Structure 1
């Protein structure tokens, strides 16, 4: 597990497909890095109007959630976690849930050097990216992030020393490729309550406790990750690169 001295030195960039994925995967780690004096930046890939399953009232099982609502919720979470800055790449409904049909070159360029919080501009010491899943935006962004963090000549482009893929409560439903297996952990015992508070601020996405992505289930999942390494609560990551 990463210790305080190490985390305090990090300039962390979190890249998230949708508003709330950053909370599922690494809100506790973000809070811990900030509390220790490190820097945290977040790039949200896409948000847009969407009709999805949920209590729509009057017996309806679907509801419309606008991109304005998702952005307000996301910004409230960024303030709660005290991140240094955040940016949104796309806020239109045509792009939302359609990153898989966007040329990867465009996504990579934004992540690598064209975006306001691009890797070249921030020069982060650590990048956390979404693990691949059945969601097309997650899958597309994962591959774009891998490309954007590829090795290169240090004098010509910034090579991120630490690249990690973060967890999601939906990853149990993964067929056709290997299940997510954490290879490193961050103890977030002291930040678990804050992580769950952040999840509740994504109010349009909150569902009943039985749902795998509910705040209650997220707390259970974070505690399970903790038990895997003998702490109360932890976030698990797949380590893609480590340069000492």
Structure 2
């Protein structure tokens, strides 16, 4: 079982808020079970969307506040260019993830699905698979879905979850943590709204026989 208090967990997101949107309830569950939870945000998450580069520090502050709510003990920032990872050498993205993996030695890594409309997410997915190759010591690699990206993707075979995590006890904490990202919260029916996040969790829960769940695709698991 992956929730046994013996694991170091790393949740990788391309941008600030990806981690909580995709795996916030599962992060809280890991932390509550005694696992050590870390977050890596690969880009600075600001310069493409906003002209004020001072928002980088604000976004990092939001990430730390979100992590505190979820019980994550470590927050790491790659500070690569937002929405421009396709201009960054693949080896540099690999190195950003490999550096954190070497530092914390995670057992379980969560990352983006490749079935995404956001190219940064796809690049992070690809580099995660390099950084967590069999020789890395990582035992399990899992992909999460990202509202307003995974669900917007076309010309793919779709996100097909192979793992559902019961977050019935943690859905409220996930939503509270997400609202720490003041600049990212949208009004319903946008997928990045509190009501939509609850609806997604309810739908995933109904598909797996619980009140609320997060859905994942197991990419690699070594036993």
TM over 0.5: yes
Q: 5+ residue gaps in structure 1?
A: 53-61, 153-157
60, 63, 66: which one aligns with 1:77: 66
RMSD: 1.9
Larger radius of gyration: 1
87, 90, 100: which one aligns with 1:101: 87
The answer on 1:203 being equivalent to 2:182 is yes
Q: Distance in 2 between matches of 1:172 and 1:80?
A: 26
The aligned runs of 1:52-201 (5 Å cut-off) are 52=49, 66-90=55-79, 95-112=81-98, 115=99, 118-132=100-114, 133-152=116-135, 158-170=136-148, 171-201=150-180
Is the Cα contact below 8 Å between 1:47 and 1:96 reproduced in 2? yes
Q: How far 1:85 sits from its partner (Å)?
A: 0.8
Q: How far 1:79 sits from its partner (Å)?
A: 1.4
TM-score of the two chains, using structure 2 as the length reference:
0.92
Q: How far 1:150 sits from its partner (Å)?
A: 1.5
User: How many residue pairs get matched?
Assistant: 220
Is the Cα contact below 8 Å between 2:43 and 2:77 reproduced in 1? yes
TM-score of the two chains, using structure 1 as the length reference:
0.84
Is the Cα contact below 8 Å between 1:16 and 1:43 reproduced in 2? yes
CA 1:179–1:13: 2 relative to 1, 3 Å: same
Is the Cα contact below 8 Å between 1:51 and 1:64 reproduced in 2? no
Match of 1:214 in 2: 193
